Amino acid sequence: MKTVKGHNKIQHKNKFFGLEFFDLFFLFFVFWLVFTFSKDLLVNLVVMIGVYLFLRAYKRGKPPHWTSSLVKFLLRPKRYLIKRERKEEVFE
């Protein structure tokens, strides 16, 4: 019996260390902040591990790209255009 070879990872979210790209970007931003303002390596490592564990717990059970969708929703302007694209959509 012949079978078709499938690629299972196409539908899955990309993960690095259990986090998506946007979460890793946030983690690197926190890394930059922590190491800019503090010179104590032990405190910095504890803060970074805490942020990483918080992000892992936050992402548990969430759909793919949850954080980036939330940020896009919060940053998007809350106005709607009056101009319609098609004439059929204009209500008279």
Per-residue pLDDT reduced to its tens digit, 10-37: 455 566 677 888 888 888 899 999 989 9
Q: Residue 35 and residue 6: Cα distance in Å, rounded? A: 44
Q: Which domain holds residue 33?
A: 13-89
Confidence bin at 48 (pLDDT 50/70/90)? very high
- Helix spans in the chain (H): 21-37, 41-59, 66-75
47 vs 84: which has the higher pLDDT: 47
Q: What is the pLDDT of residue 62?
A: 80
Rg (CA), the chain: 21
21 located within any domain: yes
Summarised one tens digit per residue, pLDDT across range 52-80 is 999 888 888 887 777 888 888 888 877 76
52 located within any domain: yes
Please tell me the total count of domains within the chain: 1
* Average pLDDT for the chain: 77
Residue 40 identity: D
43 located within any domain: yes
8 located within any domain: no
4 located within any domain: no
